[in-house]
Structure 1
Amino acid sequence: MELGILENGQDESISLVETGNKDKPKGAAWIIIMVILLNACLIALAFPLYLYLNSVDEVVKKRLMDYCIVGGGLIGIPMLYRLGDLSKGRPNFYYI
């Protein structure tokens, strides 16, 4: 890409920028379908878990919920640490 073409405003500068991408609508539709499938799978997995938690006694239910909370913390805290606040020079524990 020539800087002089862009600075002088010549006609060739128009052809340097891609005007259309034919794959964008296809990619957007694919992403929407994948998000819908992900949510359907989460709902399909949550319903049997809900039925199971209603069928067990209170001690087992509390113990399973403790494991879920600890597992969420073990996944969430490193994720938040790596995420930081998405800017340079800021402390990583900004969101925590």
Structure 2
Amino acid sequence: MPYYVLEYTLVDDYEKRRAPLREEHLALALAAHERGDLVLAGALAEPTDRALLVWKTDDPSAVEDFAERDPYVREGLVTRWTVRPWTVVIGGG
């Protein structure tokens, strides 16, 4: 099954603005994880300017659908997002 990376570019004040949206965002991510589609997810630190979500799915539209439904995207905390196939060489399974 192929892997995909969803990359978010975040606004400068992301950490301050995320609190009212976090519960909805995490519920959406947890549902994808429980389905087995979302493998890992989190923001990069120092600075917190990007986030990476690693997916393992046969359907890349599931990744795009997640981004389009994500409150962080909807409310402008994400300024840009991309979905790219990821060729895993070591690890996975």
| TM-score with structure 2 setting the length | 0.25
| Structure (1/2) with the larger strand percentage | 2
- For normalisation by structure 1, the TM-score amounts to 0.24
Please say which structure displays the higher CA radius of gyration.
Answer: 1
- Structure with more contact order per residue of length (Cα contacts < 8 Å, sep ≥ 6): 2
